[in-house]
Amino acid sequence: MTETKGVDALGYIRTVGHAPLQPAFQSVVDALCAAVHGPLADLIDSAYLYGSVARADAVPGRSDLDAVLLLVRTPSTQDLERIEAARQALEQSHAEVTKVDFDLGSLAEIQAPENFARWGFWLKHHCRCIAGPDRAQAFALFRPSRAIALAVNGDFSSVLTAYAQRLAMPLPPEQAAQLMRQASKKAIRATNVLRPLDSTSWPESIDDHLQQCAAAFPEAVEALGFFAAQQRQPQADAQDFSRRLLHFVAWMQERY
């Protein structure tokens, strides 16, 4: 019998939980909260962590700080410039994280019924609120489905193609390595859109995604192994990586 993973006793996808934040990352989280309550207070409704810092399994000097900022209005160009300035300030003053990423959404977007499978799922299951009202409370728990996988990673073709195009151009080695790591993670996680329709499991880790895809598509094992290695320690030639990535995108599109 196939083991069921990533769900609770009632079959709902597990949430990120509320383990205490790791002391090494408390300073950068505090700085983010200070920006939300200070210079950006007129713009931001609430802020959330997701990813390794939210799960409390981040590695100092290797992990990113990933955050969702829910805005009270559609941002103007000036608003976006203010948010980007705050992001850069955090990134430059906190060496414990390799990168700071903000995902932006508006209250109107998350409250629109057509976005429940994307925003509702993401806030409810992947995010923990650190500032403002917790808008995840408005959503019920979700069960595993291909619809949820598509809502989260249905953009795989455009996102991965954009990575491939950037990596096909001359880049400083450090920047190329960062892009290869990010693209590899996205490629592996995006394979969840190919999940079996009857599966009651939900992949949580990179290894879970790899195992699920390899079990359904043995022909993808070599490509999956390549991206798994690159997301840990990018060492490939950037242009070769770009070619492999585009080939993988085409392979996924044929089965999508």
> Largest Cα–Cα distance of the chain, in whole Å?
56
Domain boundary among 142, 172, 199: 142
Number of domains in the chain: 2
Considering the domain architecture, whether residues 56 and 135 belong to the same structural domain is answered as yes
Q: Is residue 2 included in any domain, yes or no?
A: no
Same domain for 176 and 67 = no
51 domain residue, yes or no:
yes
- Dist. CA 178–CA 99, nearest whole Å: 9
* Domain end call among 142, 170, 194: 142
Residue pLDDT, tens place only, 100-142: 999 999 999 999 999 999 999 999 999 999 999 999 999 999 9
- Same domain? For 123 and 198 the reply is no
Is the domain of 106 the same as that of 177? Answer: no
Whether 1 shows a pLDDT value over 50: the answer reads no
The CATH number assigned to the domain holding 83 equals 3.30.460.10
Tens of pLDDT, residue by residue over 131-183, are: 999 999 999 999 999 999 999 999 999 999 999 999 999 999 999 999 999 99
* 243 shares its domain with 185: yes
In a domain, 195, yes or no: yes
Q: Which domain holds residue 213?
A: 151-255
Pair (156, 134) in one structural domain: no
- Tell me the pLDDT tens digit for each residue of 173-215: 999 999 999 999 999 999 999 999 999 999 999 999 999 999 9
Residue 219 lies in a domain: yes
Whether residues 123 and 200 share a domain: the answer is no
15 falls within a domain = no
DSSP codes, the chain: -PPP-SB-TTSPBPP---PPPPHHHHHHHHHHHHHHHTTTTTTEEEEEEESHHHHT---TTT--EEEEEEESSPPPHHHHHHHHHHHHHHHHH-TTSS-EEEEEEEHHHHHSGGGIIIIIHHHHHH-EEEES--GGGGS------HHHHHHHHTTHHHHHHHHHHHHTS---HHHHHHHHHHHHHHHHHHGGGG--TT------SHHHHHHHHHHH-GGGHHHHHHHHHHHHS--S-HHHHHHHHHHHHHHHHHH-
In a domain, 117, yes or no: yes
Do 136 and 159 sit in the same domain of this protein?
Answer: no
For 52, 107, 178, 213, the CA distances from 62, given in Å and listed in that order, are 10, 32, 11, 26
Q: Residue 18's pLDDT is what?
A: 87
Do residues 106 and 163 both lie within one domain? Answer: no
Q: Do 87 and 187 fall within a single domain?
A: no
159, 132: one domain: no
Which residue among 98, 116, 142 closes a domain? Answer: 142
Please report, to the nearest 10 degrees, the dihedral formed by the alpha carbons of residues 208, 180, 27, 74 taken in order. Answer: -90
Asked whether the predicted pLDDT for residue 53 surpasses 90, the reply is yes
Average pLDDT over residues 53-82: 95
Residue 52 lies in a domain: yes
Residues 134 and 216 grouped into a single domain? no
pTM of structure: 0.89
The model's confidence at residue 2, banded by pLDDT at 50, 70 and 90, is low
